[in-house]
Amino acid sequence: MNSFAAELESLRPQLMKYAQLQLRNSAWAEDAVSETLLAALEKPQSFAGRSQLKSWLIGILKHKLVDQVRRNSREMSMTAEDGEDLDESLFRPDGHWREPPQDWGNPEQTLAQVDFMRVLEACVDQLPGQQGRLFMMREWLELDTDEVCKLLSISPTNLWVMLHRARLRLRECLQLNWFSAP
Amino acid sequence: MKLKRTCREVTHLALQALEQPLPLSDRVAVRLHLWICKYCVAFTRQLKLMEKAGERWRRYCEE
């Protein structure tokens, strides 16, 4: 195995992590990563030190993930957990906060920490399946509403409800595991 | 036009604003609410941090 192939192989686990976060299915994730590595091995000249190897691969992976979403969209549906609304637990019947949101301090200080990124990834991983996929499509693949809705055959309203829930869950998870962690 | 909104409503409008521009009447109502509610101000700051975190995260995973 030449060194380029060895380097690709060493990045496979990281590609798998993001593929799994997006697809929530290890067989599909394996396929997306294999297709990514294959594309890289077939066209090593298009890399040519243009940028970091990892960011080049992530760029290819993002396209392959969209392909996988398109191919398997029928099997990507809501679970019971996706349907749960957090409003009851967040607000009193009169619409006031049950627990006031806390001050999260200086964003720059928080976001500069690698550990925060790890907690963030763990929190995204804990989202219910469909919420996780939609959140990833929006935030990580940076697809717009139209693209996401077309890929999964859902309405914008449906997408927004799911993204609301995902962001509220993420907020809870960050509060619990970062901002109030000992 | 309903100007008085609850924290629950303002929370959802703040989340909605991440996806599409709010109608003017909603923007006014949210502003008014934030003027008097420090809890919702804290919530919208949390949302901003999460938005920035998404940006930072996309860079982080390529490093």
- Write the pLDDT tens digit of every residue in B5-20: 999 999 999 999 999 9
Q: Does B28 touch chain A (CB under 8 A)?
A: no
Residue A181: predicted pLDDT = 76
Together in a domain, A26 and A89: no
Taking alpha carbons only, the member of A107, A118, A91 closest to residue A173 is A118
CA nearest A57: which of A11, A126, A88? A11
Contact criterion met (CB < 8 Å) for A103 and B42: yes
Q: Which pLDDT score, from 0 to 100, does residue A51 have?
A: 62
Residue A1 is predicted with a pLDDT of: 56
B56 reaches A (C-beta below 8 A): yes
Taking only the tens place, the pLDDT of each residue in A39-79 is: 998 887 676 665 688 989 999 999 999 999 999 999 998 99
Q: 3-state SS of B1-63?
A: CCCCCCHHHHHHHHHHHCCCCCCHHHHHHHHHHHHHCHHHHHHHHHHHHHHHHHHHHHHHCCC
Domain of A116, CATH number, reads: 1.10.10.10
Say what the ipTM of the complex is.
Answer: 0.94
Q: What is the residue type of B28?
A: V
Residues of A with a Cβ under 8 Å from any B Cβ are 14, 18, 52, 54-55, 58, 87, 90-91, 94-97, 100-104, 107, 110-111, 114, 116-117, 120-121, 139-140, 142, 145, 159-160, 163-164, 167-168, 170-171, 174
Query: How far is A53 from A7, CA to CA, in rounded Å?
Result: 9
Look-up of token digits 């996706």: A82
Which tens digits make up the pLDDT trace of B1-55?
677 899 999 999 999 999 999 999 999 999 999 999 999 999 999 999 999 999 9
> What is the structure's pLDDT at A50?
53
Q: pTM of the prediction? A: 0.93
Of residues A47 and A1, more confidently modeled: A47
Contacts of A45 (CB under 8 A, 6+ apart): none
Enclosing domain of residue A122: 83-179
The per-residue pLDDT for A165 is: 97
Tens-place pLDDT, residues A126-145: 999 999 999 999 999 999 99
Residues near A179 by Cβ (< 8 Å), separated by ≥ 6? A102, A104, A105
Domain termination site, one of A75, A110, A127:
A75
d(CA B23, nearest CA chain A) in Å: 16
Is A91–B8 a contact, with Cβ atoms under 8 angstroms apart? Answer: yes
* A22 plus A68 within the same structural domain: yes
Q: Which residue is closest to A111 within chain B, CA to CA?
A: B53
Domain at A56, CATH number: 1.10.1740
Let me know whether A129 and A160 are in one domain: yes
Whether residue A54 sits in one domain with residue A99 = no
Do A32 and A105 lie in one domain? The reply is: no
Categorize the per-residue pLDDT at A2 as very low, low, confident or very high, splitting at 50, 70 and 90. Answer: confident
Task: Tell me which chain A residue has its CA closest to the CA of residue B43.
Answer: A101
Q: Do A54 and A93 fall within a single domain?
A: no
For A25: left if phi > 0, alpha if psi spans -120 to 50, otherwise beta; the answer is beta
Q: Which residues pair with A97 in a beta bridge?
A: A91
Percentage of residues in chain B having pLDDT higher than 70: 98
Shortest CA gap B15–chain A (Å):
6
CA angle A13, A147, A121 (to 5 degrees): 30
